Structure 1
Amino acid sequence: MIDMPLEKPQHRIAVLADQCVQCGLCLPVCPTYGLDGNEAESPRGRIALAAALARGQVSVTTALREPIDHCLGCLNCQRVCPAGVHYEELLVETRGLLGPAPDRPALLLGVVKRPKLNRWLQRLVRWTGAARWVPAILGGKTAPSWRAALSLLPRGSKLSAVNSISQREPDLGAVALFPGCTASVQDAEAERAAESLLRAVGYRVTRLPAFCCGALDLHDGATADADKASDKVQRAWSGAQADHLITITPGCLSTLRRALPGVRVGDPYALLAEHSDRLSFRPLALCVALHVPCTQANVARSDAALVQLLKRIPNLELKRLSTPPYCCGAAGSHVLQFPDRAERLRDDVIAHINTLDAQLILSSNIGCRLHLAAGLAEHASTLPTLHPLTLLAQQLDIR
Structure 2
Amino acid sequence: MTSMPLEKSPVSLASGRIVELADQCVQCGLCLPVCPTYALDRNEAESPRGRIAIAAALARRQASPSTTLREHLDHCLGCLNCEKVCPANVQYGELLIETRALLGPAPQRPRQLLNLISRPASMRRLRRVGGWLAFARWKNWLTDVLPTRSAWRTALLTMPSSAPAAPVRASREARGKSPLALFPGCVASVDDAQAQQAAITLLEAAGFQVSVLPAFCCGAMDLHGGAADSAEQAAQRVRQAWTASGATQLISVTPGCLGTLRRALPGVSVIDPLELLATHADRLRFRPLAQRIALHLPCTQINVARSDGALWQLLRRVPELEVMLLPRPPYCCGAAGSHLLEFPERAAQLRDDTLRQAAPLEPQRLLSSNIGCRLHLAVGIDAQGLNWLHQHPLTLLAQQLEPH
Could you state the TM-score of these two structures normalised by the residue count of structure 2?
Answer: 0.92
| Aligned pairs for 1:165-244 within 5 A | 174-244=179-249
Q: Does 1:398 align with 2:399?
A: no
Measure how far apart 1:131 and its partner are.
1.8
Q: The residue matched to 1:239 in structure 2 has which SS?
A: helix
Where 2:361 maps in the other structure, the secondary structure is: coil
Paired amino acid for 2:297: V
In structure 2, distance between residues paired with 1:279 and 1:206:
21
Return the match for 2:271 from 247, 250, 266: 266
Letter in 2 for 1:348: D
Provide the secondary structure at the position in 2 that maps to 1:385: strand
User: Residue in 2 aligned with 1:30?
Assistant: 35
State the match for 1:21 in structure 2: 26
CA contact (8 A) 1:153 1:370 kept: yes
Per the TM alignment, residue 155 of structure 1 is displaced from its structure 2 partner at its CA by 5.3
Aligned to 1:350: 355
Q: Which amino acid aligns with 1:295?
A: T
Partner of residue 149, structure 1: 155
Change (3 A) 1:115 1:383: same
The answer on whether the counterparts of 2:149 and 2:344 sit within 8 Å (CA) in structure 1 is no
SS of 2:360 mapped into structure 1: coil
- By how many angstroms is 1:243 displaced? 1.5
Q: Shift of residue 134 of structure 1? A: 2.0
Residue pair 1:190, 1:387 contacting (<8 A) in 2 also:
yes
Contact kept, 8 Å, 2:218 with 2:238, in 1: the verdict is yes
Q: Does 1:281 align with 2:289?
A: no
Task: Tell me if structure 1 keeps the 8 A contact 2:118–2:217.
Answer: yes
Counterpart for residue 320 of structure 1: 325
Greater than 3 Å deviation, 4+ residue runs: 164-169
Shift of 1:124: 2.4
Amino acid at match of 1:135: T
The equivalent of 1:307 in structure 2 is 312
The Cα of 1:120 is off from its aligned counterpart by: 1.4
**Aligned mates of 1:156, 1:279 — CA distance in 2:** 31
Displacement, 1:165?
Answer: 12
Cα distance in 1 between the residues matched to 2:298 and 2:129: 30
The one of 77, 80, 83 aligned to 1:75: 80
Identity of aligned residues (%): 59
Deviations 1:163-200 (A, max 9, x none): x999999xxx7110000000000000000000111111
2:125 corresponds to: 120
Please give the residue correspondences for 1:123-142 in structure 2 after superposition, counting only pairs within 5 Å.
123-128=128-133, 129=135, 130-136=138-144, 138-140=145-147
* Cα distance, 1:123 vs structure 2: 2.7
Residue 97 of structure 1: aligned partner = 102
Counterpart pick for 2:115 among 95, 110, 119: 110
**Quick one: which of 333, 340, 343 aligns to 1:335?**
340
SS at match of 1:361: strand
What 5-or-longer segments of structure 1 have no aligned partner?
none
Match of residue 368 from structure 2: 363
Q: Which amino acid aligns with 1:187?
A: D
Q: 1:6 to 1:260 in 2, by over 3 A?
A: farther
SS in 2 for 1:355: helix
Distance in 2 between residues matched to 1:165 and 1:255, nearest whole Å: 23
Q: Work out whether residues 170 and 210 of structure 2, in 8 Å CA contact, stay in contact via their aligned partners in 1.
A: no
Number of aligned residues: 389
Check 1:181–1:208 CA distance in 2 against 1; reply closer, same or farther (3 A cut).
Answer: same
Question: Which residue of 52, 60, 65 maps to 2:57?
Answer: 52
| SS of match in other structure, 2:25 | coil
CA distance in 1, matches of 2:223, 2:210: 28
Q: Give a deviation string over 1:365-397, Cα, whole Å, max 9, x none.
A: 000000000001111122110000000000000
Instruction: Measure, in 2, the Cα distance between the counterparts of 1:17 and 1:119.
Output: 42
How far apart, in 2, do the equivalents of 1:213 and 1:102 lie? 22
- Any gaps of 5 or more consecutive residues in structure 2? 1-7
- Output one character per residue of 1:232-254: Cα deviation in whole Å (capped at 9) or x when no partner: 00000001111110000000011
Give the match's secondary structure for 1:265.
Answer: strand
Mapped to 2, the partners of 1:222 and 1:176 lie a distance apart of 27
Q: With structure 1 as the length reference, what TM-score do the two structures score?
A: 0.93
Matched to 2:299, the amino acid is: C
Which amino acid counterpart does residue 272 of structure 1 have in structure 2? L
Separation in 1 of the partners of 2:101 and 2:19?
A: 14
CA contact (8 A) 1:168 1:202 kept: no
Match of 1:387? 392
